[in-house]
Each structure stands twice: as structure tokens, then as C-alpha cells.
Amino acid sequence: MTQARYGSLRDQQHPVIRQLADIIETLWRGQLVTYAYDTPTDLGHVEGLLEGERLTIENHCYQTPQFRKLHLELAKVGKNLDILHCVMFPKVNFDLPIFGVDIVAGPGGISAAIVDLSPVSANRSLPTLYREALEDLPSVVFSQPRTLPDWGDIFSKFCLFVRPTTPEEAIRFLDQVTQYLSIHCQLASSAVPIQSIEEYESILAGQHRYCSQQQQNDKTRRILERAFGAEWADRYLQTMLFDCVDTTNHDANVTVGNALSV
């Protein structure tokens, strides 16, 4: 395994992934106030071998006043597999859902594309403003919808999980991602911090559940284990892909003011 710095991996990836990566970063820069995120030095750009094919992973991370981590991951396995993975983790003192989008593409086209704004509230419902904005979007139809995995109950009813089969469907998916992300950036920018320890604890539990469920994705784990080993895969899943807020330093009787400064 090696770590290095190169030009963006997206230039070598499927055109739809390249387009989506550009859309995401353009919206982040245009609608949010981003600043540097302290990515572990050995995880920014990683290379390994997967069944004789070179596996390259490139991570771009930022943070904002509302988000503790904006994560865009690009991965490529030889000429057979291109992956985009993106998650926006809100700070725990904001009542915001978790935006996530993934695309998996190969020589035969896009095999999977998913986007969602996932709730973290105790009743697993989206904030009212999000629900109203998403309900106002025009409905979209795809010829091959896909079934969510068993652990996918973390997603909202607005989750879109499909296999785009034509260029038109790929564009339709990109348009939907753009709408979801634009809504998220706009509403997050005007969000105010929560005011009670009960809300904080509920949001914290919801974010932990989201990360825990995502870590059950056996497909991702198997790829990482085969390329880098089980120990490295666990570290990558828990510190880069789906890292949770550390609560080990929180006293059980912490004041609301201290808790909400996390």
C-alpha cells in the first residue's frame, strides 16, 4: 500500500462520476463556507492491489460551521470499477439529516446509484422544512429501481436507489442529486443550533445509528479487506467512511452549554 499525491482521480473515471464530483464540490464552494479538514495523512490518497488490479482511493474532506465533515471519496479498480461516495456529517448541535450519494460504474455502465437525505431524529422523520421541500420536487421514474439492503432502514422515504440504464436516466439521477444537495445546503446554511440536551442526545444517537448501519455494508468491507487487510479495513470504515462523534470524554452530567458546543 502506498500513499501519494496526484491529479484528481475523477479525470480517469466514468463521465457521470466525474460530472457528479464536480457538481458536489461546486455546490459546496458556492453555498457553504468551507475550510480545511484534518484528514489522516495516510488516508488522503491510497493505492493497493485487488485481485491483481490496482485499487486507488482518493479522499477530499472539508468542514463548515454546520458540518463537522464533508467527505467525497473517489475510487478506481483497474479499468473495471469506478466508485463515488459522498457523505455530509452535520455537527451534533444542528438538527440536520445526513446527505449521502453513491455511484458504482463499470464498462457496462452504472450498476448502482443512490441518493438520500437520511433522518437522525428519534422518530426517524425528516425536519419539516426538508420534508416539504422534497415533496415539492417533481416525481422521477427509472426503468430499474433497486431494493435497499437489510440494513437500509436508516434511509428516508425519499431515498432514490436505481440502476440508470440510459444516458437520459443518468442525467435524471444527476439532476435529482443536485436538487437534494441544493436543498440541503440552503437549509443548513440558515439552520440554528439546538437548545436542549435532549435534542443533542437524540441527534447523537441517530448519527451513531447511521454510521453503525452503514458499517454493515459487506460489499464495501470485502473490497477493502481483500485489498488492504481486515485491520486496515476496520480503521478506514471507522475513521474515514463512517466515523462517529467521540462521546468518551462527555460526562453524564455535562451541562447543556458544553454539550452543544461539540
Three cell numbers, residue 16: 457521470
For 54-85, the pLDDT digits (tens) are 999 999 999 999 999 999 999 999 998 999 99
In a domain, 259, yes or no: no
Residue 253 within any structural domain of the chain: no
Q: How confident is the model at residue 111 (pLDDT cuts 50, 70, 90)?
A: very high
> Does residue 184 carry a pLDDT above 70?
yes
Q: Is the pLDDT of residue 5 over 90?
A: no
Q: Is residue 248 part of a domain?
A: no
In a domain? residue 221? yes
Band of pLDDT at residue 7, cut at 50, 70 and 90: low
257 found inside a domain:
no
Ranges 4-8, 50-54, 135-139: which has the least confidence: 4-8
Would you say residue 31 lies in a domain? yes
The confidence score (pLDDT) of residue 211 equals 95
Is the pLDDT reported for residue 219 higher than 90? no
String of DSSP letters for the chain: -EE---S-GGGGS-HHHHHHHHHHHHHHHHHS--EE----TTTSEEEEEETTEEEEEEEEEEE-SSEEEEEEEEEEETTTEEEEEEEEEE-TTS--PEEEEEEEEETTEEEEEEEEEE--STT----HHHHHHHHTSPP---SSB-PPPTTGGGS-TT-EEE---SHHHHHHHHHHHHHHHHHHHHHHHT------HHHHHHHHHHHHHHHHHHTT-HHHHHHHHHHH-HHHHHHHIIIIISPPPP-TT--TT--HHHHTT-
The mean predicted confidence, pLDDT, of the chain is 90
CATH, residue 83? 3.40.1500.20
In a domain, 255, yes or no: no
pLDDT band at 236 (very low <50, low <70, confident <90, very high): very high
**Structural domain total, the chain:** 1
Q: Is residue 56 part of a domain?
A: yes
Share of the chain above pLDDT 70, in %: 91
Angle at which helices 128-135 and 167-189 pack, to 10 degrees?
Answer: 150
User: What is the arithmetic mean of pLDDT over 167-189?
Assistant: 98
Domain that holds residue 132: 2-241
pTM above 0.75, yes or no: yes
